[in-house]
Structure formats: C-alpha cells, structure tokens
Structure 1
Amino acid sequence: MSNQRFASVWDAIEDTPEEAENMKLRSVLMTALKNHITRTEMSQAQAAKLLGVTQPRVSDLMRGKINLFALDALVNMATAAGLHIEMRVLEAA
C-alpha cells in the first residue's frame, strides 16, 4: 500500500483532476446550502419553495447526496437562497 498524500479527499478518489475540482466545488456549495437551511431553521418544505425545487430534492441535499447535483443546479439553488458566490482561479502549484 502506498503512502501517497492528497490535498483533498476528492483528489484521492476521483479519476481525473477535472472531476476532483468539480466535486470540490459541488461539496462547498452543498455545505453552504445545508448550513444556510439549518441556520435559518427552515423546514425542508420552506427550503424547497425558496430554492425552486421539490422537498425530496432538499432531502437529498441535506443528506449529502452529491452525485445527484450538478454544479450549475447548486449555483442556481445558492443564488435563490440569497447566497453570494465568489470564485478564484489560481495557477496549479
């Protein structure tokens, strides 16, 4: 077994660097949405109405089912929730 080290769990489990970066962004957005819903004490039904999705979709979000969410869908949901998204692009190390 190798003692290889990774900067992120996504770097370790995804097949390509592109997939890993996509998963990193998706996980950040999902965490922000989950925290917003929890912090504002919204019910899943209220969150669904705000985000423009169904309650089962919010349940999937709250359970961390990342494979069910595309990056653009998460951006739309975060914007609907009133969250501001900033992105930085850096040269690879």
Structure 2
Amino acid sequence: MTKIETFDSVWDAVADMSGQAASLRARAEPMRPIAAVIEGNDWTPSEAAMHCGVAQPRIDDLLRGRVSRCCLDVLVNIATAMGRRVHVELQAA
C-alpha cells in the first residue's frame, strides 16, 4: 500500500525546500490581482505589456499562472506601472 503525503499548501507539495515554497507563494500572491486588473481593463496581453512596460511573454506567463517564470521584482514593477502598490509582510511561522 502506498502512503499518501499531505501538505499544508500546494507550494509545499511542489517545492523541494521550504524556502522555495515561500518564494512561490510570495510570487503567486501579487499575480492574481495583477491578472484581475488586466482582465478588468479588457487588455489583450500586448496591451497589458505596453501599459506595464514589459515584454508580452511576461504577461502571457503571468496570465497563465506560471509562477516559476515570474520574478518578484518584475511583478512589483508591473503592479507599480498599473498604479498599484505591493505590500510585503513578514509573519511568524
């Protein structure tokens, strides 16, 4: 019989180390509201890229939920270009 592993979050399941899981989680959090702004403005990926000052493939990765291909500093820059502010909070584990 195979033992079934359980995890606190999907990020813990897909990452090899807790630091990697934390990084994936931190990047995923701003991706959802950024995608919502893009969809709320009815921007195509090329329009969103133009508004945000990034290449269209970055927007495509963001909209497809490819967390591993999005880096936090670029997500902060995109949010800022959209007139949004990103807040980072440290919490006790």
| TM-score interval (norm. to shorter) | 0.7 to 0.9
Superimposed CA distance per residue, residues 49-68 of structure 1 (whole angstroms, 9 cap, x where no aligned partner): 11111223212221122222
Superimposed CA distance per residue, residues 31-77 of structure 1 (whole angstroms, 9 cap, x where no aligned partner): 12111100121222221111111223212221122222111111111
Aligned to 2:47: 46
Instruction: Return the alpha-carbon distance in structure 2 between the equivalents of residues 4 and 11 of structure 1.
Output: 11
Number of equivalent positions: 92
Aligned to 1:89: 90
TM-score, length of structure 2 as denominator length: 0.85
Divergent runs of 4+, >6 A? none
Instruction: Return the alpha-carbon distance in structure 2 between the equivalents of residues 90 and 68 of structure 1.
Output: 25
Aligned-residue Cα RMSD (Å) equals 1.5
Give 1:78's aligned amino acid: A
Aligned to 2:37: 36
Quick one: percent identity of the two aligned structures?
35
Instruction: Return the alpha-carbon distance in structure 2 between the equivalents of residues 87 and 44 of structure 1.
Output: 26
The offset of 1:10, in angstroms, is: 0.3
> Conserved in 1, the CA contact under 8 Å of 2:79 and 2:85?
yes
Instruction: Return the alpha-carbon distance in structure 2 between the equivalents of residues 46 and 85 of structure 1.
Output: 22
TM-score, length of structure 1 as denominator length: 0.85
Structure 1 residues without counterparts, runs of 5 or longer:
none
| 1:20-31 matched pairs, under 5 angstroms | 20-31=21-32
Instruction: Return the alpha-carbon distance in structure 2 between the equivalents of residues 7 and 87 of structure 1.
Output: 21
